[in-house]
Amino acid sequence: MGYHGPVFKSENRPHTNLSAEVSGDSSYAPCTVVPEGNPWVPPHALVGATFTQAFGRDEPQSAVELHVKHETVAVSVVIPVFNDAEALERCLRQLQMQTHDHRRFEVIVVDNGSTDHTREVATSFPGVKLLVESTYRNSPYSARNRAIEIARGAVIALIDANCYPDPEWLSEAVSAMEGESADLVAGNVLFDITEPFRAAHIVDGMTNIRMRESVEKKSVAKTANLIVKKDVFNQLGLFPEGLRSGGDVRWTGEAVSIGLKLVFAENAVVRKAPRDWAELLKKQWRVARGQPAIWKEPEKHLRVSELLGKMLIPPRIRTTKRKAENVLLETVGRTGLLTIPLLLKIWFLRLAVQIVMGFAHIVFVLKQR
């Protein structure tokens, strides 16, 4: 199927469901009954029981409807997580604030082998389904796959545990999907940059995700904020198993290449905490290692002489300033905030990112020989 080639369903691995089983019949899907008029918010506002999906079933059973009014779930929100309990808690609390009808969406958290208290956080939120993916540890794409396999929704809303959705996020995403007859909707990801400004935070915003550019210039999207009709997974298969990085670009590129419609929804906003310089460089090393797998013709990009040249040519200061100003405009709403010392730090860190990524590409080439 070309360079984006999806992984077929036969390659998927079974999941393990960690929800507490309180029903005598294990054919039920995990859920919490929400009384009419009570949104999915505090635990004390919820009544009813939590049920458990039978291990290994392809589709959840419908013997018991998810909510008292017997409405089907329209959207399944999927959150992979690995050792990020605090971020997950904030993400789930933000989901409780959604303006979208809480009786019309479910939340599925997939723990990817955490050793902290991630699972305890997930189970502390009534109504949240908890799965664990341990076959492919620390692979967010495999974690997402396990959730998609059991999701009830006709629409899958993908978000990272360290992303915090605005209250209108889900409503805006669904509205964009319906209004533009889209198969995939890429929402806006804004880095939560505040004063005093740090060079690493701004460079993170300049370098990573850039959803509008990804959609409009490259016809791909990232799973930090991606809403997809479940039928698309039936057509393409699930995400590539076992990957740590790049699987979303590969998969969404394939979707567009077969004629499916991908749009950008500016008002479907999630916010993301920016990385410090050490985390940023570690992230760029990981991204660069995965990039050759998603390039159409990697041999053209992986000539060592060209890689060295690209790695050592410093970024332009004018371009750096323009991109940094754009990030501040998106996140803070103002420009003209860059001081000369801050701009120089940003320029230097951009160069460091460039060198790290170039070196990762060279290491990849040498390992192939």
Q: From the CB of residue 18, how many other CB atoms can be counted at a distance below 10 Å?
A: 18
For residue 103, the model assigns a pLDDT of 86
The model's confidence at residue 296, banded by pLDDT at 50, 70 and 90, is low
* CATH code at 9-275: 3.90.550.10
For residue 174, the model assigns a pLDDT of 95
What are the residue ranges spanned by the domains of the chain? 9-275, 298-368
Most confident listed range (1-5, 194-198, 292-296): 194-198
pTM of the model: 0.76
CA proximity to 190, closest of 355, 8, 46, 326:
326
Q: Label the pairing between strands 163-165 and 105-111.
A: unpaired
Q: What mean pLDDT, rounded, does the chain reach?
A: 79
Q: From the CB of residue 1, how many other CB atoms can be counted at a distance below 10 Å?
A: 11
Is the separation of the CB atoms in 208 and 142 below 8 Å? Answer: no
For residue 228, the model assigns a pLDDT of 98
For residue 335, the model assigns a pLDDT of 84
Q: Is 177 helix (H, G, I), strand (E, B) or coil?
A: helix
Span 101-109, mean pLDDT? 92
The DSSP secondary-structure symbol of 266 reads: E
Is the separation of the CB atoms in 247 and 224 below 8 Å? Answer: no
Gyration radius of the chain's alpha carbons: 21
β-bridge partners, 228? 156, 184
Name which residue leads in pLDDT, 26 or 215.
215
- Residue 131 backbone zone (phi > 0: left; psi -120 to 50: alpha; other: beta): beta
The pLDDT tens digits of the residues spanning 321-369 come to: 999 999 999 888 888 899 999 999 999 999 999 999 888 877 777 776 6
Name which residue leads in pLDDT, 176 or 26.
176
Query: With 90 as the cut, is the pLDDT of residue 286 above it?
Result: no
Distance CA 292, CA 297 (A): 9
The pLDDT tens digits of the residues spanning 26-82 come to: 222 333 222 333 334 433 333 222 322 322 323 332 222 223 233 456 999 999 999
Span 300-308, mean pLDDT? 59
The DSSP secondary-structure symbol of 269 reads: E
Most confident listed range (11-20, 37-46, 291-300): 291-300
Least confident stretch, 13-27, 109-123, 163-177, 206-220 = 13-27
Query: With 90 as the cut, is the pLDDT of residue 12 above it?
Result: no
The pLDDT tens digits of the residues spanning 134-151 come to: 888 878 999 999 999 999
Query: With 50 as the cut, is the pLDDT of residue 231 above it?
Result: yes
Least confident stretch, 57-66, 172-181, 260-269 = 57-66
Distance CA 297, CA 288 (A): 15
Least confident stretch, 215-219, 227-231, 303-307 = 303-307
Name which residue leads in pLDDT, 202 or 335.
202
Q: From the CB of residue 244, how many other CB atoms can be counted at a distance below 10 Å?
A: 15
C-alpha distances in angstroms, 86 versus 44, 81, 120?
Answer: 22, 11, 11
